[in-house]
Each structure stands twice: as C-alpha cells, then as structure tokens.
A = this chain, B = another copy of it.
Amino acid sequence: MRDVAVIGVGITKFGELWGKSIKDIFVEAALKAIEDAGVDHIDSMYVGAMSPGLFVGQEHLGAVMADYLGVTPVPATRVESACASGGASFRQAFLEVASGASEIVLAGGVEKMTDGADVTDVLATAADQEYEVYHGITFPGLYALIARAHMQRYGTTREQLAAVAVKNHRNGAKNPNAQFRSEVTLEQVMKSTMVADPLRLLDCSPVSDGAAAVIVASMDVAKKLGKNPIRVIASAQASDTIALHSRSDVTILGSVVNAAQKAYKMAGVKPSDINLVEVHDCFTIAEIVVSEDLGFFEKGKGGEAVEKGWTSIECNRIPFNTSGGLKSKGHPVGATGIAQIIEVYEQLGGNAGARQVKGAHIGMAQNMGGTGASCVIHILEAK
C-alpha cells in the first residue's frame, strides 16, 4: 500500500438547517474541500450516510451527490455503517488511493435529520431490529444499560458522566461550526430532563443536519500541489455483535478494542504517542468507555480521568473531543466520522484556533455505529 494524505477539508455548520436540502449541504461541504485542497478534479467520491431513505426518501446518494456537485461521470458510492458511515467512507477513500486505483478521492458524509422523520425510530434501525427494537428499546435505553453496568462495576458516578458534557460544551463553544456554542455547568447537566435513567438530556448528542468532506490523495499528488499533507498512518475497522445482549460484558466495546489494536500496530504508535483524540460521544457514557477501550486509561478509570480534567484541552494530557464532540458540535450521523477527521486535520495543521492543542503532531479519530457493532479508527500524523 502506498502513502495516503488528507490535503483539504470542508464542513457546513451543524444544526437544524431547515432552509437547506441534503443536496445543498453536501455540495457546500464538498466544494469547500475541493477549494481548500486546490485540486481541479477528483477521480472518485464516497458519500457516508446512515439512512437518507428513511430520513428524506432518497437513496442512491453517491450518484445524486456526484450529479449535484457537477462531477459526473466520476464513480460515486454511498457507504453505510450506521453512525460510523463517515469513518467508513473515509476508509474506502483511503483504500482506493492506497491501492493505486485513484490519485484524488473525495470522502464525504452527510445526514439531514430534521426534515420530519421520527428520528429515534430511524436511528433504531442501527440496532438489532428483531431482537432489540421490536421489543421497544432504542439507543438512549441501550446506552443507559451500558452506563448502569459501568457505574455498578467500576463505581463510575453521575457527576463523571456530566463532566464529559461540561468539557465537550466548553470545547464546542470555541468551534464556529458547532450546533451548540454554549457552555453548560455540571448542575445544568445533572438537572436536565431525564431521558433513560441515568442518562439525561445533556448526556445525549443532539439531532442535527450537516455535511463534511475531505480530499484524500496520494503523497505524490500532495507534494505536487505544494500542500502540507497530513498523512493517514492507520486505518482500522472492526465489528461486534449487533445486539447488546449478545455480549459477555456490556462495559467493554469489543470493536473499539479490536480496531484500536489494529490501528496502533499499523501506525507503529502507542496511546502515549497520540496528542489528541476525537471519539464517538453519542452519549456521555460512550466517551468514558471508549477512552478506556482505546487504551488511554485503565478499565473503569475513564470517569475519573474526565472528572480530573485529564481529557481537557487545558490540561493537555490527552485532549478528547476538542471539536466539542458529538455532544456539542452536533451529530448528523453520516457526517460525524468525516467531521472528526477534519478536527484532527485542523489540529495537526495548527489551524484549530481557540481550540488548538499545543504540540499536536499525531491525532486519532474513533467513529462507531450502534452500540459499537461497528467501529472505524484512523490515526493521522503531521508531516
């Protein structure tokens, strides 16, 4: 496999974008990425999206977006892995360039969630339809089960869950594209509306519209363009049981453990070499579990780590979700994995403004689908 780099990025504001269609926002992000990269063409493109069929009545999103972007006849394929669709889209672009089949590939992600569909029902199609959803459980309930088990097993507290939301809103307040640019206090999180005990409203990522795109290219192309490329030093993916009840221990996300091991091996790095991490905090408990399963903290100590501030930008031990994460930045599901790559890219390029992590050289993006039935991890390195 040959070396692959990210050479340009584009993103829309995340939020309730009622005045724009799914096509509008994807094209906006894609054009920004193409302009940012300074390329005059793309060889192919991928569109990560979880459920445009159920959200807006439109499948075949690869061709739709190639058409509206004005790049036909380039090959265009939609990739889906529930909320990890963006990460999966990036991985396919990486593999295509690494194979030598293409030089310049656009990897995008999009979701339009506020156009009228019953969002909780649509998202539930990422869980086991027959054995979970049919019996009435949806994602807040599934993650609440994980949270309860983690609290019981390791003594993780309600306050520690809330600390994730407080930190991520503090970061998101500094991100101009974030859906919620407002800080929240521990007390506000603790007193917000109960959704699925112990998870409250401010433990949950919001319903969002948004799109994100990056340009992936061979190192040769990056050099010719005079770009300062950010190299992709690892791309790894893993699966796990679709249903939570099939797992021997619901406090461990097996796909995260597996993908992380493969990613560290491929990159030749260990957790202590990583300078910042974007993780999939669809619920506050997810960030805590993932921070352990990625190997940054001992199992059961993720809650303590966030409470002590170790994952904050200010502490700079290992900053988590400097973008604001899914919690504050927003979670248009298909776009999330690409937005994570963009945050890492901006940080490694030293362009993260008020959110900049000092000395950021290697960064990781961890994107997952369902209750971790799929996980995609990428590690990027500044040249």
On A, residues with C-beta under 8 Å from B are: 1, 21, 44, 50-51, 53-54, 56-64, 66-68, 71-82, 88, 91-92, 95-96, 98-101, 122, 125-130, 133, 235-243, 246, 254-255, 258-259, 369-370, 373-374
Interface pair A63/B95, CB less than 8 Å apart: no
Q: Which of B59, B81, B96, B130 contacts A95 (CB 8 A)?
A: B96
A373 in contact with B63 given A78-B80, A79-B78, A254-B73 (CB within 8 Å): yes
Contacts of A370 on B, CB cut-off 8 Å?
60, 63
A374 in contact with B62 given A239-B75, A241-B72 (CB within 8 Å): yes
Bound state CA distance, A79 and B60, in angstroms? 10
Looking at the assembled complex, report how far the CB atom of A240 sits from the nearest CB atom of chain B, in whole angstroms. 5
Complex: chain B residue closest to A261, CB-CB? B73
Interface of A is mostly: mixed
A61 in contact with B74 given A51-B53, A53-B125, A239-B66 (CB within 8 Å): no
Interface pair B129/A62, CB less than 8 Å apart: no
Interface pair A129/B80, CB less than 8 Å apart: no
Contacts of A369 on B, CB cut-off 8 Å?
60, 63
Contacts of A241 on B, CB cut-off 8 Å?
67, 72
Interface pair A240/B73, CB less than 8 Å apart: yes
Q: Which of B59, B66, B76, B125 contacts A58 (CB 8 A)?
A: B125
Bound state CA distance, A122 and B68, in angstroms? 22
Complex: chain B residue closest to A71, CB-CB? B239
Interface pair A61/B80, CB less than 8 Å apart: yes
Bound state CA distance, A378 and B297, in angstroms? 47
Interface pair B129/A73, CB less than 8 Å apart: no
Q: 12 A–B contact pairs at CB < 8 A?
A: A44-B237, A59-B125, A59-B126, A64-B373, A67-B242, A67-B246, A73-B240, A73-B255, A77-B80, A77-B81, A79-B80, A95-B99
Contacts of A246 on B, CB cut-off 8 Å?
67
Interface pair A125/B79, CB less than 8 Å apart: no
Most buried by B among A62, A98, A369: A62
Contacts of A64 on B, CB cut-off 8 Å?
128, 242, 373
Known: A50-B59, A60-B82. 14 other contacts (CB 8 A): A51-B59, A53-B53, A53-B122, A54-B54, A57-B125, A58-B129, A59-B82, A60-B373, A75-B236, A75-B239, A77-B79, A78-B81, A80-B80, A98-B99
Interface pair A63/B239, CB less than 8 Å apart: yes
Interface pair A240/B72, CB less than 8 Å apart: yes
A81 in contact with B53 given A67-B239, A239-B67 (CB within 8 Å): no
Interface pair A81/B99, CB less than 8 Å apart: no
Interface pair B95/A101, CB less than 8 Å apart: yes
Contacts of A58 on B, CB cut-off 8 Å?
125, 129
Complex: chain B residue closest to A89, CB-CB? B77
Bound state CA distance, A57 and B127, in angstroms? 10
Bound state CA distance, A128 and B246, in angstroms? 40
A56 in contact with B101 given A238-B75, A239-B62, A241-B72 (CB within 8 Å): no
Most buried by B among A78, A96, A128: A78
